[in-house]
Structure 1
Amino acid sequence: MLAHPTHERLIALGLTGMAKAFEEQRAAPDLAALSFEERVGIMADREAAERDTKRLTARLKFAALRQDACVEDIDLRTPRGLDRALVARLAAGDWIHRHQNCLITGPCGVGKSWIACALGHKACRDGRSVFYQRVPRLFEALALARGDGRHARLLKTLSRVDLLILDDWGLAVLTANQRIDLLEILEDRQGRGSTIVTSQIPVDQWHDVIGDPTLADAILDRLVHNAHRLTLAGDSMRRLSGHRELDAQTNA
């Protein structure tokens, strides 16, 4: 069979990685010294890598992470109360396998959202499904979904992801519908998935943010009791980054 039809047949079969490897082998005469099994193995490895990349791209697109962050880039040098050992355990991801939660608190600008997105990115790389949402936007989406019949479907989607990231929790006291929605989300996810929550409000004040004492007890029982906690402090990372850029420009 001619080379060109073979390349086209591989693409038609959806084997784009093998098709690329096939063309690369045709263009590299030195690969002719390899055995048949070795050359097929190279093509199979390329196909596997291509599919892994596509799956990761799809997971990241669905996750819609707010920050382009990676755990390898987490700044452990700037003083802000980060526990290196805990960060390493969270990056490893076993807590997600155990369906545990992670609560990240601290003042504005210390990197809560960035760290949450970095952990979400790592989870995507590990083959887990992730979904990011700012809490105010999530409640808006749930309110709209309640009105047009998509409410149950959205709750089902939230219940299925391996890692749910709820960013900017506690900006306002919850309404009655928001309390019920949050309880439903956490109830559906208990023992099935992990949740990251970021907030400027300390955890011991979350009861007041929820509003209703009975529902607050139920919500926090499902969220807090098995959660890892990162309590950050210090200056705003955005302010420090701006100072560093200014110093670099001054010293240039």
Structure 2
Amino acid sequence: MNPIPELTAFLKQLRLSGILDSLDLRNRQAIEGKLAYTEFLSILIGDEVARRDQKKVAMRLRRANFRGEKTIEAFDFDRLPNLNRSLIQDLATGRYLSEKVAILIAGPCGTGKSHLAQALGHCAVRQGHDVVFTMQTQLVGSLHAARAIGSFERRFQQLARVPLLVIDDFGLKPLRPPHDEDFHDLVAERYERASTIVTSNLDYDEWGDAFPANRMLGAATLDRLRHGAYRVVLDGESYRAPKPSPDSTRAPARSPAAAKAR
């Protein structure tokens, strides 16, 4: 008697149908290895746990809205010799998440700020945390749109409660009312409750320029972000530098007059 059809129905009823993907393989391994029933069952359950973990990671990555596969393994540390690699590796462990502090990343365009921020976000996802990645303009824009349709509080709380919020390109565009107030309220709500990663092209002492309409509000916002925060400065050449023209290596052409003179 073949027990597979009945077993399949039971597994589906228990929402364990993923076991079917490896059942045949594990059954052959159990027979060939003469495994005890408990060993066979442990391997099958282990497969199901791993499958569910992978599914959770994939779901968190989709919700995070990262822009491509920007991982810590793919980050080019050699291009930034002055970067404190030990600090980055320590941050990748996610210790700052339990500390509920921010990571502030500053540096010129093209030095890898967005990559590093998303890479740390990827690490957090793999460690079981929910993450949201957004640009400053998208962040305040989404809150503005939510206010227009009466769902501001819901959207605000979603952003306030996520364990890790990554805000890219802070200060690229100035924050004006009511966006500056929304940004401040979000930072204040997350203060000492959840971690935030912020990247900016501005030097740290220029971050206040992002609040041209209300410097006092900006000071209060940045005071909360900076408290206990880890600061990372990326200083190097832009990886977006244009490639040299194919003709740039050729010897310069002689003028007709010079050629005639020869």
Determine the C-alpha separation between the residues in 1 that align with 2:174 and 2:133: 21
TM-score, normalization: structure 2? 0.87
Bigger Rg, which one:
2
Summarize deviations over 1:61-116 as a string: whole Å, max 9, x none.
11011231111222111135311111111111101111010111111111100011
Corresponding residue of 1:158: 159
**1:125-204 correspondence to structure 2 within 5 Å:** 125-204=126-205
Summarize deviations over 1:34-57 as a string: whole Å, max 9, x none.
000100000110011011011111
Describe the SS at the equivalent of 2:53.
helix
Cα RMSD over matched residues?
1.8
The alpha-carbon deviation at position 7 of structure 1 amounts to 2.4
Larger helix percent:
1
Residue from 225, 228, 233 that aligns with 1:226: 228
**1:18-97 correspondence to structure 2 within 5 Å:** 18-28=19-29, 30-31=31-32, 33-79=34-80, 81-97=82-98
Determine the C-alpha separation between the residues in 2 that align with 1:87 and 1:32: 44
Determine the C-alpha separation between the residues in 2 that align with 1:236 and 1:75: 12
The alpha-carbon deviation at position 16 of structure 1 amounts to 3.0
Describe the SS at the equivalent of 1:141.
helix
Determine the C-alpha separation between the residues in 2 that align with 1:225 and 1:135: 20
Summarize deviations over 1:124-152 as a string: whole Å, max 9, x none.
00001100001111111111111101111
TM-score, normalization: structure 1? 0.90
Determine the C-alpha separation between the residues in 2 that align with 1:32 and 1:84: 45
- 5+ long unaligned stretches in structure 2: 247-262
Identity in percent: 34
User: Is contact 1:67-1:114 (8 Å) kept?
Assistant: no
Determine the C-alpha separation between the residues in 2 that align with 1:80 and 1:239: 18
Amino acid at match of 2:195: S
Describe the SS at the equivalent of 1:176.
coil
Corresponding residue of 1:249: none
Determine the C-alpha separation between the residues in 1 that align with 2:111 and 2:239: 5
Describe the SS at the equivalent of 2:178.
helix
Corresponding residue of 1:237: 239
The alpha-carbon deviation at position 18 of structure 1 amounts to 2.2
- 5+ long unaligned stretches in structure 1: 247-252
